Every structure is written in structure tokens, then in C-alpha cells.
Amino acid sequence: MSSVEPGILPACEFVVDHARHVRLDLAKLDALARQWVDQPFQVPGWDEPIHWRGTPEETLHYVLLLDALNFCFWVDPGQTRWEVEYQGQAFNGYKALSVALRRALEEGVTLTSAQTLAELTADQLAHILRGKGEIPLLQERLQHANQVGRQLLARWQGDFSRAVASCQGSALALTALIARDFPCFYDVSHFQGREIPIYKRAQITVVDIAGSLGFQGYGEFHDLDQLTAFADYKIPQVLRALGIMEYSEELAQRVDQQQLLPPGSPEEVEIRAAMVWAVELIRRAMAQQGRPLMAYELDWFFWNLGQSKLPGEKPYHRVRTVFY
């Protein structure tokens, strides 16, 4: 299988070079890279309390489902944020999704079965994801779960480990396979006549597989360093607070007033591409100073930085989308 084509980084660079609404401050970017050279970058291991683990093959199925449903947890103003209580603790967002799936598996729901996913009903999924408030885009999540099950049955005899093994330890090949075989992962936009692949959830699935299996067996990849950062809501917000990413006056006003941006709009594509390219430029600058890091390690550091309010922080851009 070929690597991801067209390349994510060249596509993102093209968007940044032709952007009208978003620009990167390269001087601030370089200064930050110099400042961070001595920072400890400790990416945490697979978080056992919120994640589930079975056999390697079962774990692959859990991770694929988890990341098929891993998108858009924010609610509109005035709505109750979705939360799941598990073992006496309340979780929201991605962590709520993970513990909800873990809870279901512990209750005997066979979520690691492709047949179960293919036949899953709206009522069953609503019960699996029960909590305070309601998870956004529940119907879309049902479609993703059904699609994962059906595609596994149609293409891989219901066994995702066959797909992973076919990639022979290539993270790029597995990213391309996931995006090809499971359309709900096909995260590609169009910008000035070009296709712009981002593949946020396909890439994060690969990294989650590696982490969940301790970078061994199915989780051992020889080219994880070729993956990019994962274009989401949070990291553009952090980059903007740090002064690295700047919005046009019109876009800044729309984002700061929490107006919805259309999925696939030039503004959204520019924000996501600029985020990926900014992290890549920081990674390259740090490597030149003798501090090699993988993009996903920097991604985690940025995401973690954004878990506390930063000076000058503005709202994140809002897009109702299944891709992040």
C-alpha cells in the first residue's frame, strides 16, 4: 500500500501559502521553538483508568470504534455538557466517550464484534453513551459505528487485525487504509481546486493503536515520525493565544463571537492546515537544535497546554463536523 497521497504536509503548506484569513508569525514560532528546546516532553502512556484493553485483536477493535466516534463534543451555549460518570468520577468529552465504551464492554456489550457494530441501533447506542446531557451528533455516531462494522465484514472478514497486519508496520500505510476503507475517516477538504487531506482521526487511530499495545506487535510502526499533528479545535486556540496563529479581522470576529463556520469552508481549511503546518515547523526547528520530536508528541504537549486557560486566550473556532 502506498503512503498517504497526496501528502498532508505539502497540502497544508499550499493552503498556508495561499491563505486569506489565517497567517503564521514565523518569528514567534522560531522563538517558541528555541524556548522549548529544554522542555521535558513526556507523552503519557495509554491511560488505563479511562481506556479498555482486551486481547491485542480486541483492543484494535476498541480503538477503531473509539476513534470512529471521537469528534465534536462541544455544546451550544445554554445546553448541558455531556458527561458520563464512571467509578465515582465524572468525565466529559473524549474521556467520557472512552469510559462509556469501557463501561459497555464491562457490561457485556460485544463492541469488539464487527457484527454487533453493523447491527447496532440508535436506542442501543444511546444506552451505551448514557450520561448527563446528550452527546452531540448521536445519529452521525451511529452511522459511523454501523459503517465500521459493515466495512470490517465486507473487506476484512470482520477482523481489523488483518487490516493492520497487511500494512507491515507502516503508520502511513495504515492511515491510508483507514481513510480508504472507512469513509467516516476520509477527512479531505478542497481548497482552490486542490484536495487537502488532513486525516485527523485516521492518524490518531494509528497512534492510539501504538500506545494501547505498548508499541509492540500490531502496535509497532517504523514510520510514526511521518505522521502530522492532529488538526482539532484546541491547538489552533493555543497557537492563537501564543501569537503564532493570527486571524483576519473578519475571521477573528466570527470566531470570538462563537459563530459557526461551515465545514469545508476556506476559513476552516486554513485554520486546520495552518495548525498542522505550524506544529511541523516547530518540530523541524527543534530538530535543528538537537531536540528531535515526533509531531504527535508536540501535539500532546500543545493539547495539554490548552487544558488550562492561557493569557490572551480567545474562543476556539466552532464547526459542526464529524472529522474532529
Q: CA 163 → CA 97, 106, 181, distances in Å?
A: 24, 26, 10
pLDDT value of residue 171: 97
Is pLDDT at 4 greater than 70 in this prediction? no
Q: Using pLDDT thresholds of 50, 70 and 90, give the confidence band for residue 142.
A: very high
Model pTM above 0.85: yes
Q: Is the dihedral of CA 161, 163, 165, 170 positive or negative?
A: negative
Q: Using pLDDT thresholds of 50, 70 and 90, give the confidence band for residue 68.
A: very high
pLDDT: which is higher, 6 or 255: 255
Mean pLDDT calculated for residue range 306-323: 93
In degrees rounded to 5, what are phi and psi of residue 34? -65, -40
**Cα–Cα nearest to 273, from 239, 315, 224:** 239
Is pLDDT at 162 greater than 70 in this prediction? yes
Is pLDDT at 138 greater than 70 in this prediction? yes
The residues carrying an active-site annotation are 232
pLDDT value of residue 46: 78
Q: Where are the beta strands (DSSP E) in 107-228?
A: 188-191, 194-197
pLDDT: which is higher, 193 or 5: 193
pLDDT value of residue 295: 94
Grid cell, residue 291, equals 531536540
Letter string b/e over residues 35-65, b meaning 16 or more CB atoms within 10 A of that residue's CB? ebeeeeeeeeebeeebbbeeebebbbbbbbb
pLDDT value of residue 304: 85
d(CA 65, CA 149): 9
